[in-house]
Amino acid sequence: MSKQRVVIVGGGLAGLAAAMQLAEDEIAVDLISMVPVKRSHSVCAQGGINCVNKFTRAQGDTEWNHFEDTVYGGEFLNNQPPVKEMCYWAPKVVDLADRLGVPFNRSPEGNLAVRRFGGTLYKRTVYAGASTGQQLLYALDEQVRRWEAEGRVKKYEFWEFLGPILDDRGVCRGCVAQDMFSLEIKAFPADAVLLATGGCGLIFGKSTMSMVCTGGASARAYRAGALYANPEFVQVHPTAIPGADKLRLISEAARGESGRVWVPRKKGDPRHPNEIPEAERYYFLEERYPKYGNLVPRDIATREIFAVCKDGYSVNPNTYAVYLDLTERATGVKAEVLRRKLGAILETYQKFRGVDPLSEPMQIFPAVHYSMGGLWVDYERDGHSGGLRLDSPRNQQTNVPGLYAIGEADYQYHGANRLGANSLLSCIFAGLIMGPAIRALFRDLPGGSVDKQPARLFEQAVGRCKEEMAALLRKDGPENPYRLHRELGELMTRNVTVVRNNAELKQTLVELDRLGERYERCGLSDRGPWTNQTLSFTRALGDMLMLAKVIARGALLRDECRGAHYKPEFSIAPPTAEQPDELREQARQWCRKYHAQNQQWLKTTLAKWTPQGAEFSYEPVECDSIAPRPRTYGLKGAEIIDEVWKAEVAEAAGQKAAAAH
């Protein structure tokens, strides 16, 4: 075993993948998690994981296509070398999962069964019923338990990460964490710290995410100097069901297995959906996007649902809702087939709404679902393959040396919009490549190994955390943190989700300041020294308020539409002219504007913590393999844009070739 230790914070797919790989590589791991790792948020993932497979290959699909779909889906905001590497690894990741015993659904011949997901024309998604995340997480959890039994991994469950420990040169030397039962605060010295702490959906109050997804850990790293990238990119999933405590997801897999989205053609049609004849149903996604149909990427599906509901077609008078139809009448697929492939999500709908979705259409609503943004991380491009140099300690490293981020906590793979079933992939991939990266880091530790550090460094860090806790526990103002959280969620959901505009964003920032002031006046209804959940929650609320501002300011500053970030004030008007020449001219204008927008905004947002608030800067995106192009997904009426863009690219290439002569 190496004498160096690694601390991994978080035991979702990313953290567990890293833990098992490092353990195999004989590197000692401390694994810290707020919940027993087997209960991590990754268990919620339903639909599947993407990889080029036997079936799609037979149709001409390649890893390159997966790469291309991912980058187009992210509207080119994803750095291409890491995405390329990930897509080329995808089949290997799935082979490994298969060997670890994940009970993937099978084809009649015993191959992995596949289905289609959004943003692609290929059936590139493998799945285990409709609980793929749970099944993948269990397989990795079992492997980590195996190493735990051998003493290579030590778990600290029900422990909460409070912050990284940096030495006076700014190198990460470990972290501080707290036992959530005894409230003991302890330093964990380490030569590398990996944050695998997931997303931050709780900033929006109710979302599809689990209760520990506050972003607290990322916020604490950000507060210590780690850059936070693309905060404004938050995915709103088109199809969830409401609850008093959570918005529960109905996976994209439902549409992948032929589910259809529609509203009655007649606004406010009072009939039961089963009584509305085919001709009187408006399948708006299929009509508007004949090529991708119900499987356009999520940002587009969500905006289209918003738009029809805004036009008065909502099927629920109180909110924006549409039908998602899995009945045999709409899909032509037999109930028993869907039950086998979608069991878990059908159960969820039945359990929480009391209706069998195979007998009548589901009512579904958009819900905050995923954070594309996260801690900024580095990578090293391989000049030969255009992917990554895997033996580089830079991969997944934040700007703080020795501090890494993987999984939903990082910003790396999904650009302005994540494609369905790509997250489980990015989590496991980033976890696995930590093996070679950490081995490389340990070959040549910048500033020597951690055991040379004075004990004082760790004592002081623990001391600071204890003081902060004492200050929190002293709070006895009139504001209740749980109620403040509800208000924060309502504010953010109202103004910083699907449709954004600058006036509202400015107003949101003012209101966030006010919430921040009220936070200072909050009181803890529990100040005891044992299993104090109020303490942990209130601390996280402070973090959420801080990140909320970073998200809202990032959104305010970015004056364009890209992927999930949609500001109608800055959308480029589509060509509409009747007359062909005029239409072409409008399309030319459109392309020019789109090009100018890329010049200005095809950049990663970087937020740096300062005592006065976030300082923003922008960094170019590495688009070295695939050139940006308009993201129309074959929208009816937008063909002319694609045509003109292609012609102009060809012309520019011709001119370049001529000039070179």
Partner 1 sequence: MSTPTSAGTILTVRVRRQDRPQDRPYTQIFEVPYQSDMNVISVLQAIAARPVTADGQATTPVAWDCNCLEEVCGACSMLINGRVRQACSCLVDELLRQGPEISLAPLTKFPVVRDLVVDRSRMFEALKKVRAWIPVDTYADIGPGPTISTEQQEQMYPLSRCMTCGCCMEVCPQFNDASDFIGPAPIAQAALFNLNPVGKMTASERLRALMGPGGITDCGNAQNCVKVCPKEVPLTWAIGKIGRDTTIEAVKRWLLK
Ligand X SMILES: Cc1cc2nc3c(=O)[nH]c(=O)nc-3n(C[C@H](O)[C@H](O)[C@H](O)COP(=O)(O)OP(=O)(O)OC[C@H]3O[C@@H](n4cnc5c(N)ncnc54)[C@H](O)[C@@H]3O)c2cc1C
- Known catalytic residues? 298
Tokens (6 digits) for 151: 């003493």
Which residue, 348 or 398, has its beta carbon nearer to partner 1? 348
Instruction: Return the closest-CA partner of residue 9 out of 409, 441, 443, 581.
Output: 409
Binding mask 352-371 for ligand X (x = CB under 6 A): -----------------xx-
By CB under 6 A, residue 495 contacts ligand X: no
- The residues near 150 (Cβ < 8 Å, ≥ 6 apart) are 23
Instruction: Give the HSE-up count for residue 51: Cα atoms under 13 Å, Cβ half-sphere.
Output: 26
- Strand boundaries in 300-361, DSSP class E: 322-325
Could you tell me if 481 and 201 are in contact, meaning their C-beta atoms sit under 8 angstroms apart?
no
47 touching ligand X, by CB under 6 A:
yes
CA distances to 35, 66, 82, 473, 495 from 539, in Å: 17, 40, 34, 10, 24
Q: Which does 351 bind (CB under 5 to 8 A by kind): ligand X, partner 1, none?
A: partner 1
- Residues binding ligand X: what is the number (CB under 6 A)? 46
Residue 146: C-alpha distances to residues 57, 159, 193, 436, 548 (Å): 35, 21, 22, 21, 39
Residues 166-225 touching ligand X, rule: CB under 6 A, are 196-198, 208-209, 212-213, 216-217
Residue choice 92, 310, 474, 521 for contact with partner 1 (CB under 8 A):
92
Least CB distance to partner 1 at residue 212 (A): 6
| 115 lies in the site for ligand X, by CB under 6 A | no
Burial of 344 (0-12, 13-18, 19+ CB in 10 A): middle
Sequence letter at residue 633: Y
Q: Is 478 in the site for partner 1 (CB under 8 A)?
A: no
Distance CA 212, CA 197 (A): 9
- Smallest distance from partner 1 to CB 486, Å: 7
Residue 295, token pair as written in the block: 């499987």
What gap in Å lies between CA 372 and CA 238, rounded to an integer?
16
Nearest to 202 by CA among 567, 536, 430, 614: 536
Two tokens, residue 437:
């990266």
41 binds ligand X (CB under 6 A): yes
Question: Minimal CB distance to ligand X: which residue?
Answer: 12
Q: Which does 600 bind (CB under 5 to 8 A by kind): partner 1, ligand X, none?
A: none
- 402 near ligand X, judged by CB under 6 A: no
Stretch that binds partner 1, among 237-245, 439-447, 455-463, 649-657 (CB under 8 A): 237-245
Angle, CA 236 vertex, CA 346 and CA 603 arms, to 5°:
145
Asked if 214 interacts with partner 1 (CB under 8 A), we say no
Q: Is 129 in the site for ligand X (CB under 6 A)?
A: no
Residue 472: which region, alpha, beta or left (left: phi > 0; alpha: psi -120 to 50)? Answer: alpha
Q: Is 20 in the site for partner 1 (CB under 8 A)?
A: yes
Measured from the CB of residue 192, what is the shortest distance to ligand X in angstroms? Answer: 16
Cα distance between residue 204 and residue 384, in whole Å: 43
Task: Select 101 or 568, whichever has its Cβ closest to partner 1.
Answer: 101
Q: Which residues bind partner 1 (CB under 8 A)?
A: 20-21, 24, 35-36, 38-41, 43-44, 92, 95-96, 98-101, 103-108, 110-111, 128-129, 131, 134-135, 138-139, 142-143, 145-146, 148-149, 181, 210-212, 242-246, 248-249, 340, 344, 348, 351-352, 432, 435, 480, 482-483, 486, 525-526, 528, 530-531, 533-534
Q: Which residues bind ligand X (CB under 6 A)?
A: 9-15, 32-35, 37, 40-42, 44-49, 132-133, 160-161, 196-198, 208-209, 212-213, 216-217, 249, 251, 369-370, 407-409, 421-424, 427
